[in-house]
Amino acid sequence: MKRILLPAALLLGITAGCTRTTPSNSESPNSNPIPSPTANAPADSDAATARANAIATGRSVATPPPAQVVSEQFADLRILRYAVPGFETLSTKQKELLYYLSEAALSGRDIIYDQNYKHNLRVRRTLEAVWEANQERLATPSQAEQARNFSTYAKRVWFSNGIHHHYSTRKFVPDCTPAYFAGLVRAVDAKTLPLLQGESVDQFLKFITPIIFDPNVAPKRVNQEKGKDLVVTSANNFYEGVSQLEVENFYAKLIDKNDPRPISYGLNSKLERSSPSKPIQERVWHTKGMYGKAINQIAYWLGKAEDVAETVEQKEALGKLILFYSQGDLKKWDDYNIAWVKDTRSRVDVVNGFIEVYGDPLGMRASYESVVSFKDLEASKRIAAIAKEAQWFENSSPIMDAHKKKNVVGITAKVITVVTEAGDAAPSTPIGINLPNAEWIRKEHGSKSVSLGNIVEAYDQASANSGLLDEFAYSKEEVARARQHMALAGKLHTDMHEVIGHASGQLNAGVGTPKQTLKSYASALEEGRADLVALYYLPDAKLQQLGVVPSADVAKAAYDNYMRNGLMTQLTRLQPGETVEEAHMRNRQMVARWVLEKGQKEKVVEMVKRDGKTYVRINNYDKLRQLFGQLLRETQRITSEGDYRGAQNLIETYGVKVDPVLHKEVLARYAKLNIAPYQGFIQPKLVPVELNGRLVDVKVEYPDDFARQMLDFGHKYKTLPDYN
């Protein structure tokens, strides 16, 4: 995706208004009878029957949304809950479809753990095995602090889908001692531990302790440091026994840069050499290959969904996705994406597959993720109005004419209500999505752009009155403008970034895809390019003509926020001494620092001091827009021409380095506010209801215990062995 990870309003801290009866893990899903939906019914069968009877007699039944959005806060994380408004108004068939798609999504949960790090599943299952023993120690004064620290570590692992931070990708370690951890392990039945065949508990502890506690073992999941072997120094499980040069040479022999419809080589496989004497090989992810047990489960539930598809187009798309999963053929993946783009009539939709490449330092291999949703009909009117004018925005862009699409096709835009997220999309979630990622499919067949409406709403509710805006905004006028307009500004920025930004521009003939030409800088540059499209057009009179913007102050609020965040507040996500490596953070800092430097002579934007504190002050919004346009032209040129040196210069010069003095100040000011810089979600639970042997409804429940949901998921969706 090309996706936005966090709403602009959240970065300010202000308000904006991967027991059920399924095929066993050791069996093929398709060889088992269809599980009865009653197996998922709540333990209180009388309540379930009463609900079913209410439905059967025509009485309206709605599940109340979460009364409290914020569930808990620990480390640098805050756990939220999101509502699913409008679910009760859907037809029974639509709810059934959403249930099957949600089960498919969660069936792939183990995959993201294994992709993130080879030993993650074993670590996670160890934490699950000793969780209750640790909770018992919370009541013992001499052990309570150690128990709390271990509990925090376990929840951090669940949040990040592994032992590396979900955003910085740096390894984090427990604040409890190895001795305390060993005591927990020895206190539980050895049969519950993820021991290898013939392995003793002592041998297991000797192996697992440095993996958990030693910060020098697998220190970075994704390393983007210039001058390093990015493959060898990254701990993800996409490569083994190979170097960066070997990977690049392996695919250079396969890739035809003149192919107008290039295959996304490497998207769904692990590249490895089992020993120095053996050749390099790809282990493809499909039902009979790597991750086969999990993918079989995913395909099983997708098959159930196919049977109740809303439209012919949706049925065809789901069938092609199942075929891709069964064969692992990337041409079948392209076939699926084309069919998925054509399905514009279905209200229910799903993102499911190996999609985003942020977890691979070379930008080739994709992490598993799924987002299950239905269209918010009323909220989609704004984003649809923008999508309808895509050709106008392309024609009016400041980029070179040779880089403009002459015929922008098939952009479908909508606001969605999320029902379930899994894999790389959970617990931390994007708020905007634009797919598919293949440039040639987008050019020939179009794309889908979505804004995750109920996710944004939950973020906005949680971030109300945090104090971040008052602390970092330069003036009272800026604060007032943000409180009045930032809700809309954030949504419009997301809309323009996804709908127009990612869909705009084209590559020169004979130039390879950005991941081939721009390599490790491709993701950051693409996110920056899409941001610049949004920033350039937010003040445009066209948006007021479309009726989506009431005044130019909306754009000013967006500019204030973007510059403040890119230059200062996003630094709260880094530890002292760190540089910027995450793609979205790099893009925002690159954009902000470039325009700060280029506008320095005319003081378009300034970093100013007042009462010993640093602030960002915009003096000329019109000239700032012109600078955004100039940088947009350059980022599009780099992308269209495949200019690796140009991309490297932009990102390394403006997007990576951190001023340690400013960073120290920002961290000190931020610490006083007691705000967690990262947020994620407990997933709603879909519970099917059966009456007289048939499914008559699916209800939504809102769990409020993050740890309990993670434990439940670990049990219910255990689809893979410890090593794959």
pLDDT digits (tens, 9 = 90+) for 27-71: 333 333 223 333 333 334 444 444 444 444 333 345 667 778 999
pLDDT of 1: 46
Q: What are residue 74's DSSP bridge partners?
A: 77
Mean of the pLDDT values across residues 610-631? Answer: 98
**Contact, 428 vs 678, CB < 8 A?**
yes
DSSP string, 284-309: EBSTTSBTHHHHHHHHHHHHHHHHT-
* Main-chain phi, psi angles of 165, to 5 degrees: -55, 135
pLDDT of 283: 98
pTM of the prediction?
0.84
pLDDT of 257: 83
Whether the pLDDT of residue 402 is over 80: the answer is yes
Whether the pLDDT of residue 693 is over 90: the answer is no
Element (H, E) at 588: helix 583-598
pLDDT of 664: 97
Closest CA to 65 of 88, 99, 47, 90: 88
pLDDT of 63: 60
pLDDT digits (tens, 9 = 90+) for 541-559: 999 999 999 999 999 999 9
Element (H, E) at 538: none
Mean of the pLDDT values across residues 12-21? Answer: 32
Mean of the pLDDT values across residues 4-33? Answer: 36
pLDDT of 44: 41
Mean of the pLDDT values across residues 277-283? Answer: 95
- Which residues lie below 8 Å from residue 265, measured CB to CB, with a gap of 6+? 251, 254, 255, 330, 364
Whether the pLDDT of residue 456 is over 70: the answer is yes
Pairing of strands 613-618, 77-81: unpaired
Q: Identify the band that residue 4 occupies on the pLDDT scale cut at 50, 70 and 90.
A: low
pLDDT of 5: 58
Q: Identify the band that residue 215 occupies on the pLDDT scale cut at 50, 70 and 90.
A: very high
pLDDT of 694: 87
* Cα–Cα distance measured from residue 425 to residue 354, given in angstroms and rounded to the nearest whole number: 11
**Contact, 462 vs 80, CB < 8 A?**
yes
Q: Minimum mean pLDDT among 376-380, 605-609, 718-722: which range?
A: 376-380
pLDDT of 42: 36
* Cα–Cα distance measured from residue 284 to residue 706, given in angstroms and rounded to the nearest whole number: 33
pLDDT digits (tens, 9 = 90+) for 237-257: 999 999 999 999 999 999 998
DSSP string, 592-638: HHHHHHHTTTTTSEEEEEETTEEEEEES-HHHHHHHHHHHHHHHHHH
pLDDT digits (tens, 9 = 90+) for 287-300: 999 999 999 999 99
Per-chain mean pLDDT for the chain: 91
Degrees, nearest 5: CA angle 281-282-283: 120
Q: Minimum mean pLDDT among 84-98, 118-132, 347-361, 502-516: which range?
A: 502-516
Degrees, nearest 5: CA angle 352-356-362: 150
* Cα–Cα distance measured from residue 106 to residue 470, given in angstroms and rounded to the nearest whole number: 40
Rg (CA), the chain: 25
pLDDT of 463: 80
pLDDT of 52: 44
Whether the pLDDT of residue 661 is over 90: the answer is yes
Q: Identify the band that residue 625 occupies on the pLDDT scale cut at 50, 70 and 90.
A: very high
